[in-house]
Structure 1
Amino acid sequence: MTKITYSRFVLALLLVIPLSSLRAQLSERPVDLVFPLLDAANSRWFFFSSATRPFGMVNLSPDTQLEGAWGSGYRYDTDTIKGFSHIHAWQMSGVSVMPVIPSDHVGQLMMDYYSPFSHEKETVEAGYHKVYLEKYEIQAELTATHRVGFHRYRYPEQQAPSVLFHLGGTLGPSEIVDGELQQTGPRTIAGKITNAPTSRRPKPITVYFHASFEREISGIIEDNAAPHKLVTFHPSNEQELLMKVSISYTSPENAQLNMERELPGWDFENTVKEAKREWNDLLGRISIEGGTDTLRRRFYTDLWHALQGRRTISDVNGAYPDNTGATFRIGQIPLNTEGQPKFRHFNSDSFWGAQWTLNTLWGLVYPEIMEEFTQSFLQYYEDGGLIPRGPSGGNYTYVMTGASSTPFFVSAFQKGIRGFDIEKAYEGLKKNHMPGGMMSKSGYEHTTWQGGDVENYIRLGFVPYPNPHGHFGNHEKGASLTLEYSFQDWTLAQLARKLGKNEDADYFLARSKNYKNQYDKSSGWMRPKDVDGKWLEPFDPYDYGNGFIESHAAQFTWFVPHDLSGLADLMGGKVKAAEKLNMQFRQAEKLGFTSGTSHSVETHPEYRRIPINYGNQPSMQTAFVFNYLGRPDLTQYWSRKVVEKAFSALSPHLGYNGDEDQGLMGSLAVLMKLGLFQMNGGTETNPIYELGSPVFDKVTIQLNPDYYPGKEFIIMAENNSDKNYYIQHKTFNGVPLPEMGVRHFDIIQGGTLHLIMGVQPKW
């Protein structure tokens, strides 16, 4: 942007936005704009967060529902608090506590300790939660470090403070068993609980905890009828009780060490400030100007979701639980020259869909996080012989399907993130693409290797539906598996070529064309077929789940991110393909582009037939497909429409309208609002960031100097408004952009992407 043009832009901005509002925008802290209650009415166990740090081992918050992985945790429309849990993770829970007032009927209290609460007396912020327990008249405040939960309770006068520890029973996704608690000092206790195996996490995982109080303990009460225990204190004039609880998955000694290292003191207010400062440092890497207050608050809430959910499981000294072998062992993260662990080890839901979300956002803005996850996943490979697609409790869960970690690793390497052993990574990734690897296993298939049917994919060029071998796990949907494998093969071929493994590159590149075998020209859709090559009969492209994972043929047909020109050829050319997809968007718009307002209603008879669903991963790329069909105007139009209808609400009852799997939807919303996307997950050489329609007037991304040479990447959208969807002219550092976007190695040198927006489409 020239000086004259920029001056006109600023003058126009001042005329539209009151000076006081503009000053407020420039001075507001991103962390203060986060709205943790977004979509909280539709929460699942690991979704809601308040008192936690980025990727923290501790994710401390109230629970209003305790049953199951879905519909549990903090549910906004439930008016009863049933404890404050320290662990809300993928297939893990634990160390739930509740401040109470003891009564003469201890046994009754142990069984009935829940308390009503109201949102009127509640404060929820990033890194902090305050709530009033009406039953006991106790004000509870929560904050946390990475591995320590910090509690501040204010009791009524002349009451004996007590804290109940939940040591057994259902807690979210897990059955809590073998709970223990004992006093270890005048002001300390120690204990453990075990998460029993689940259908998704096949082995138990023990959580050790250490709790310290600011005043002396008077006793520990138990009742044979209940598994819980009550830690009591003498009445005093001091109404406040401070408690710290640290956890470890390896040993009681490491639980105590985590507290000693991270939170030796008792300054609650300072801990809250530090939590907010840490969040603000990460959120502040992206600064935005323009847009409404609601739009800015929603943006930073989306970004906040993109930086959590996947939880740390290693201790401050690098010890971690390894459950990948026949017996449990304690592993050790390698240490650097200063004696500190080189990386953290993680618990994580699947990277199914991460190629369109985390790959792009983390790779550009948080490369150190992307690198740390590759290091953690390689540790799993060293320990258990497979790179995971979603580990829990130090073990594989085989969640979802395919080799979804492959695009993540390839994207990191292609973007110059090299702090991991690429040869070892390639070895593990290649193993996952062959029989005996991740492509052999369907969802949660723990003891067999036939649900993924990669053998028939290799032999026949497609995955038959139904599985001719039988039933072994979840998501045995052959048509979508063919498409997944084809894309993942293409990404592995890019890495093989980069590493000079040309024979492998040719082999996996040939396999990446298998998607064509799933296309039925007579119907115009990807269509399931059986082991004999016969098309599925009867066939309805809107029949949810019939050969396609969490979707149907109309949605999954566009899952060819590596060869959209080839897909268009199958459809009769780019013009016909664009017309077909545009029709799907027009139909989907009537339902707001999502299958209802939560994942739980995705199979509703009406919602399930939506042509495009932005509430789940399989079709989240579709708005950007138009860029590859010669219609960037439709990408700009529909991506803006999707943001407006699916990702703009700021309400406890709306938010992601589907399945927000640990940052995937949050990341997608951020990228669509920035107007950036990567169709193949950033896995080609010098990946391109395709352009959509940015919603802010100016975005500044601070580049990490440890990875990238430039200082900042700026997106300037001149004449931007809620009507001006379309890019009229685009330059990068003053040079016109001939491509649909800007390349990674140009961006990381620093510079300005200048877009002139208008109301008329231009293509």
Structure 2
Amino acid sequence: MKNNIVAIASVLLVTFSCKSDKKEIANVDKNKPTDYASLVYPQLDTENSRWFFFSSACRPFGMVNLSPDNEIDGAWGSGYRYITDTIKGFSHIHGWQISGVSVMPVTLSDDNTKTVFKDFYSKFSHGNEVVTPGYHSLEVERYHVKTELTSTTRVGFHKYTFPENTKSAVLFNLNTVLGPSDNANGELRQINDKEFAGSVVATPTHRRPKALKIFFKIELNASVNTLQKDEETGNYLMHFNNLKEPLLMKVAISYTSEDNAQLNLKTELPHWDFETVVQDSKDHWNSLLSRIKVEGNTEKQQRRFYTDLWHALQGRRIINDVNGAYPDNTGAEFKIGQLPLNTSGKPKFNHYNSDALWGAQWTLNTLWGLAYPDIYEEFAMSFLQYYKDGGLVPRGPSGGNYTYVMTGAPATPFFVSAIQKGILKENLEDIYDALKKNHLEGGIMEKAGYEHKTNIGGGLDFYMEKGFVPHPNPKGKFGGHQDGAGLTLEYAYQDWTLAQLALKLNKSEDYNYFLRRSKNYATLLNEEGWMQAKNVDGKWQANYSPYTYEEGFIESNGAQSTWFVPHDYDGLAELMGGKKEAVEKLNKQFEQAEQLNFTSGTSHASELHPEYRKIPINYGNQPSIQTAFIFNKLGRPDLTQYWSRKVASKVFGGLSPSTGYNGDEDQGLMGSLAVLLKIGLFQVNGGTEENPEYQIGSPIFDKVTIQLHPDYYSGETLEIRMINNSDSNVLVKKATFNDNLLTDFKVSHKDLTTGGIFQFIMQDKNE
């Protein structure tokens, strides 16, 4: 709630300590506090969710993200799945390639005492379930146990109400497949009748090549009668005497040591007041969700908006302890790293586990850069910590190590945007050197997806020599996503962003070199105006169709990827015959895509469907999510307004477990995209040029108020006011910013962050 923001500053410092001496953002409206967390619908799209998608009893970016699991075999199609009615445990870690510490409350009888270690799953009903950010409650029907969950950043807090006169127990399922990896070598030992400690190993995966040990510390409010170990499964059962009061259990985790798990517990949760933690968690969420206030439209669309915003603030998980210790797996041997501390002895920033920043240029760069620059800075500092430890700025780290998830060097536009917006101001020369390393031999560009042991699959040598990455790679198969045309387009854009930083730092030779490389996209545009792969001899791909999926293009087809030139739409249009021809081509693609609701089905798996994979624009995955705003760059802002509003409605308008993101919601990327579409602000090139510009779309709400962080921006608030807004009035008849007419439907970052008021007068597309 807005009037609680200052009061809970101490809570925020636990999680976001990068700027621990900075003031909190001012409240927008102190007289009408709003519980934004209550508007969030956590079960959105949970029929299609993957391991790290769903969250409930967790804090923003929490190390602990405690929730029930009803599918556990595999990263995709696992975790909390709405249509599966069986609970298989409540686990504490749902991260990118990490899982761990699954528990289950049970009751014992003569019938199940000998079988409970293998047969403990239970039915549950959504009718007895309550899910809100920071809290999850349901009944484990088999045992009639009311289960309630909440957490701090690093400590899971359980409340179990057992039936009277039953033999109560808690099963620790420490040796099991759990989402993306096996949990193995699980151990639990008793310290006293109310305290326990243990560990479990998250075994290596195809994506995370090294094992990760997870330590945990447990405290209970009731005495354990017996700790039983099952030799066959290696799992444990805590037996209790007849419990007359609810059982409370704290489970703190650490990736470094048992002592640090204990420290996390004592620091974050020294008391036993369950309801206070639930309220603190809600306050924590509200402090962040309230930075963007929307008014108007329907209650359903407001709920969907805050659900999107909630997704944009989670998924990527903290891995350091409260004292700054963190797992460093970047070298040959595991080490415990130490983050720098401020004068109060707290970490200057947190360290993160993160899926790739692939597509972040159109999502996190803009949303975090606008409303959450403190979070943006902290993630950048975390990625630089990986560079200090392992020598490379990562694409997506897991378990304290590189995973080489996806392709290219997507951290480059992420950092360049932060620098151009003034979020990162210090050590720019060092940051440039770190980013540049990834664009040359020995850098991360050379590695294809999950290519851990070689530097060949990315085809960077061909790109530098020939101006394109051939498809197929004549040297062989070394990793995933070795789609040469897609790699070429990605490298060219990222080279352009690095060139902008070189220009800022007066590195003229580097600027000219990377600017030349950024033109390499043009080598792949065929006579029909489609991007098309070439083989190593420079010959066009045989039997080519722009609608063939993943044949030269990464998680996309040629039609979608033709527009992956975020840095040079003027140049692309010229190659297509002019802006008029480019507009006609793109508009036709949107008309065709609308017939399939702009996505390849309702889940990532549907992209391979014979019909869905032919869609010319796909808003279910990252490669073409910028396309509606390209019209702005081509002189047709009306088409940006028209199509972006259509996409916001058809792709990101639902509010049910069966749909939501219609594809691949990679840890807040699509949630961020939905927010940007609905507030009508976007950055086609990821905000990477000097004084970045925002393209204006068609906001769906009558009023949007964005709080601007006082430690980064001079303005207090940014308001967007809509006149005559409706589902049919989607075109902007007149646009002003601080009473200045906007004829080109764009505004600079400097102007925007000084605060002020947009006013849009809307009209029907037929007027």
TM range (shorter): over 0.9
Q: CA, structure 1 residues 341+61, in 2 after alignment: closer, same or farther (shift >3 Å)?
A: same
Using the TM superposition, give the Cα deviation of residue 652 of structure 1 relative to its aligned residue in structure 2, in angstroms: 0.6
Report percent identity of matched pairs: 62
Alignment map for 1:659-678 (pairs within 5 Å): 659-678=664-683
In the aligned structure 2, how far is the partner of 1:28 from the partner of 1:604? 43
Tell me the residue number matched to 2:493. 487
Tell me the residue number matched to 1:561. 566
Using the TM superposition, give the Cα deviation of residue 740 of structure 1 relative to its aligned residue in structure 2, in angstroms: 2.5
- Per-residue deviation, residues 221-249 of structure 1 (Å, max 9, x unmatched): 1222222100111114x141000000000
Match of 1:362 among 365, 368, 374: 368
Tell me the residue number matched to 1:513. 519
For this pair of structures, how many residues does the alignment match?
737
Deviates more, 1:712-721 or 1:27-36: 27-36
Match of 1:307 among 313, 318, 322: 313
In the aligned structure 1, how far is the partner of 2:530 from the partner of 2:680? 29
Question: Contact 2:421–2:692 (CA<8 Å) still a contact in 1?
Answer: yes
Tell me the residue number matched to 2:711. 706
Tell me the residue number matched to 1:19. none
Alignment map for 1:422-433 (pairs within 5 Å): 422-433=428-439
Tell me the residue number matched to 2:585. 580
Tell me the residue number matched to 1:38. 44
Amino acid at match of 2:586: L
In the aligned structure 1, how far is the partner of 2:415 from the partner of 2:113? 54
Tell me the residue number matched to 2:619. 614
In the aligned structure 1, how far is the partner of 2:427 from the partner of 2:614? 44
In the aligned structure 2, how far is the partner of 1:73 from the partner of 1:359? 28
Question: Contact 1:85–1:96 (CA<8 Å) still a contact in 2?
Answer: yes
Tell me the residue number matched to 1:207. 214
In the aligned structure 2, how far is the partner of 1:29 from the partner of 1:109? 41
In the aligned structure 2, how far is the partner of 1:662 from the partner of 1:486? 25
Tell me the residue number matched to 1:14. none
- Per-residue deviation, residues 173-193 of structure 1 (Å, max 9, x unmatched): 011111100011220110000
In the aligned structure 2, how far is the partner of 1:142 from the partner of 1:421? 42
In the aligned structure 1, how far is the partner of 2:707 from the partner of 2:70? 39
Match of 1:715 among 717, 720, 735: 720
- Per-residue deviation, residues 85-132 of structure 1 (Å, max 9, x unmatched): 100000000011000112344341000111100000000101100000
Tell me the residue number matched to 1:168. 175
Q: Does 1:127 align with 2:138?
A: no
1:623 counterpart SS class = helix
- Per-residue deviation, residues 322-349 of structure 1 (Å, max 9, x unmatched): 0000000000000011111000000000
Alignment map for 1:649-660 (pairs within 5 Å): 649-660=654-665
Question: Contact 1:588–1:613 (CA<8 Å) still a contact in 2?
Answer: yes
Using the TM superposition, give the Cα deviation of residue 512 of structure 1 relative to its aligned residue in structure 2, in angstroms: 0.3
Question: Contact 1:201–1:393 (CA<8 Å) still a contact in 2?
Answer: yes
Q: Does 1:228 align with 2:241?
A: no
Q: Does 1:384 align with 2:390?
A: yes
1:505 counterpart SS class = helix
Amino acid at match of 2:328: D
Match of 1:543 among 526, 537, 548: 548
Q: CA, structure 1 residues 761+735, in 2 after alignment: closer, same or farther (shift >3 Å)?
A: farther
Alignment map for 1:441-480 (pairs within 5 Å): 441-480=447-486
Question: Contact 1:633–1:761 (CA<8 Å) still a contact in 2?
Answer: no
In the aligned structure 2, how far is the partner of 1:152 from the partner of 1:571? 63
Tell me the residue number matched to 2:336. 330
Q: Does 1:498 align with 2:504?
A: yes
Using the TM superposition, give the Cα deviation of residue 546 of structure 1 relative to its aligned residue in structure 2, in angstroms: 0.5
In the aligned structure 1, how far is the partner of 2:465 from the partner of 2:574? 25
- Per-residue deviation, residues 135-155 of structure 1 (Å, max 9, x unmatched): 000000000100000000000
Query: Structure 2: which 5+ runs fail to align?
Result: 1-28
- Calculate the TM-score normalised by the size of structure 2: 0.95
In the aligned structure 2, how far is the partner of 1:422 from the partner of 1:131? 50
Q: Does 1:117 align with 2:124?
A: yes
- Calculate the TM-score normalised by the size of structure 1: 0.96
Deviates more, 1:722-731 or 1:293-302: 722-731
Alignment map for 1:13-24 (pairs within 5 Å): none
1:550 counterpart SS class = coil
Question: Contact 2:419–2:425 (CA<8 Å) still a contact in 1?
Answer: no
Query: Structure 1: which 5+ runs fail to align?
Result: 1-22
In the aligned structure 2, how far is the partner of 1:586 from the partner of 1:749? 38
Tell me the residue number matched to 1:263. 269
Amino acid at match of 1:175: D
2:115 counterpart SS class = helix
Tell me the residue number matched to 1:17. none
Question: Contact 1:288–1:696 (CA<8 Å) still a contact in 2?
Answer: yes
- Per-residue deviation, residues 263-285 of structure 1 (Å, max 9, x unmatched): 01001001000000000010000
In the aligned structure 1, how far is the partner of 2:392 from the partner of 2:277? 39
Using the TM superposition, give the Cα deviation of residue 420 of structure 1 relative to its aligned residue in structure 2, in angstroms: 5.2
Using the TM superposition, give the Cα deviation of residue 761 of structure 1 relative to its aligned residue in structure 2, in angstroms: 6.7
Amino acid at match of 1:640: R
- Per-residue deviation, residues 664-713 of structure 1 (Å, max 9, x unmatched): 00000000000010000000011111011000011000111111111100
In the aligned structure 2, how far is the partner of 1:233 from the partner of 1:715? 57
Deviates more, 1:348-357 or 1:104-113: 104-113
In the aligned structure 1, how far is the partner of 2:100 from the partner of 2:35? 33
In the aligned structure 1, how far is the partner of 2:745 from the partner of 2:571? 18
1:176 counterpart SS class = strand
In the aligned structure 2, how far is the partner of 1:431 from the partner of 1:716? 44
Q: Does 1:626 align with 2:639?
A: no
Tell me the residue number matched to 1:4. none
Tell me the residue number matched to 1:82. 88
Runs (4+) of structure 1 exceeding 6 A deviation are none
Using the TM superposition, give the Cα deviation of residue 422 of structure 1 relative to its aligned residue in structure 2, in angstroms: 2.0
In the aligned structure 1, how far is the partner of 2:745 from the partner of 2:728? 21
